[in-house]
Structures are given as structure tokens and as C-alpha cells.
Amino acid sequence: MSLRNNRAVLLAAAASVLLVAGLALALFWAPEDADQGFSQRIFYIHVPIALTAYSGFGWGAWKALRLLWTRESRYDLESYTAVHMGVIFGILTLVTGSIWAKISWGVWWTWSERQLTLFLVLFLFYCAYFMLRFSVESGPRRANLSAVYALFGVALIPVSFLAIRLAENFIHPVVFTRDGPQMSGSMFFVFCVCLAAMLGLFASLYTNELTGKRLDARLHELREALE
């Protein structure tokens, strides 16, 4: 038990260090972008958060697959926690993306940002995931339904992305465009540190949340055994 604790603490410590380092590098050390100036730096936060959200959904889908394959109920909690964390990071993606749009172009939302549009669709999808879970009693049934839905989610990611790209042809393209930053070596380095930081944050939060939920379940079990 204490060994697991140690690992969680180490993970949290590593994530914290990376976060501080990443933020510091992003704000002070990374070279200034010629076109967008200081506001471009939010890229170092926004994109890693987005990629981490995708990882969360992917991790949740992997655990869902394991659940359906092995029928072991512990994967349900793991899948749910991963999706839960993924949604939180998804909200952050939408928020940071919106802030960036406001800073860059003066609007809080724009459909020309493919990433953002994709996240909006996924956000709706995974909100329905929670509605599904809330409306089914806990047990093997709920675990199965959630797992199948999580798998549909990851199938939706590439398909939606393709759809959004195709949609741009007939939904009149908006004026704003943004060139993907051509990353120089140092920019790439900062990006990697920030990405590692966000993934570390995800892993740390995931581990904590999962432990907490498992303790809850165990407590429940013990209470019942006493009845």
C-alpha cells in the first residue's frame, strides 16, 4: 500500500516540476513569434491540453476494450475515470482555444478553427456519455454500455475531423486563418516539455481520482459486510 502511495507522490511531484518548468519556458524562454507576438505563447498550453484530452479518450477506450474482452469489472472504473479526465481537459481546450481566438482575432468563437469545432462535437458526445451513465443503474449493464459508447467515441474522432475538413468547402470559409507554427528547434523543445507536463498532470489526476473511487467502493463493500 505504501509503495503505491510513493508512486503517486512521485508522479505528482514530477508533474508539478514539469508544469512549472514548462510554463516558465513557455512564458519567458521560448522565442517570440514574428506574426502573433506574445499571445502566440498560449499555443504551448492549448495544444498540449488538447492532445492530453485525446489521450484521455483513447485511454478510456482502451480500458473499455479490456472490459469487454475480459469482463473484469475494475476496468469500468478505469475507463470512466479516463473519460472523465478527458472531458475536463476538453473543457480546458475549449476555454484556452476561445481565449486564444479572442486575443488573436477579437472573437470568442470561430468555426474556422478545426480543432475547436472537433472538440465541441466530442464534448457533446462525451456529455452524453455521462447522461448515459447517470440513467442506468450501476452494475455490469452500465459498464457494458459505457464501454461500447467509449469505443464509438474514438471511432468518431477521426471521422469527425474528416467531416469538419470536408465541411469547410461549402460552409463559406471565414476570414480568419492561422498557419500552423513552423516550429524551430527551441520552440519544439518547449512544446515537448509542456506536453510532458500536461500528460503528467493527467496521469497524476487520473491516479488520484481512481484511488479515491476505489477507496469509496471498498468502503461501501465493508459497510455492507457489517450489516
Q: Which residues bind another protein (CB under 8 A)?
A: 68, 71, 73, 121-122, 124-125, 127-128, 131-132, 135-141, 144-145, 147-149, 151-152, 155-156, 159-160, 162-164, 166-167, 169-171, 220, 224
Q: Which is nearer to another protein, 88 or 156 (CB)?
A: 156
For residues 122 and 190, which CB has a smaller minimum distance to another protein in the complex?
122
The amino acid that residue 56 corresponds to is G
- Closest contact distance (angstroms) between CB of 119 and another protein is 12
Round to whole Å and give the CA distance between 88 and 79.
Answer: 14
We find the least distance from the C-beta atom of residue 73 to another protein, in angstroms, to be 8
- 120 in Cβ contact with 97 (< 8 Å): no
Of 6 and 135, the one with the shorter C-beta distance to another protein is 135
Bridge partners, 33 (sequence order): 37
* Min dist. Cβ of residue 90 to another protein (A): 13
Looking at beta carbons only, is 24 or 155 nearer to another protein?
155
d(CA 55, CA 82): 9
Number of Cβ within 10 Å of residue 8's Cβ equals 16
CB of 157 to another protein, least distance (A): 11
For residue 110, what is its C-alpha cell? 470561430
Residue 184's SS3 state is coil
In the complex, the smallest distance separating the C-beta of residue 171 from another protein, rounded to whole angstroms, is: 8
And the C-alpha cell for 8? 503517486
- Are 202 and 55 in contact by the 8 Å Cβ rule? The answer is yes
- How far is residue 81's CA from residue 135's CA, in Å, rounded to a whole number? 18
Closer residue to another protein, CB minimum distance, 179 or 224? 224
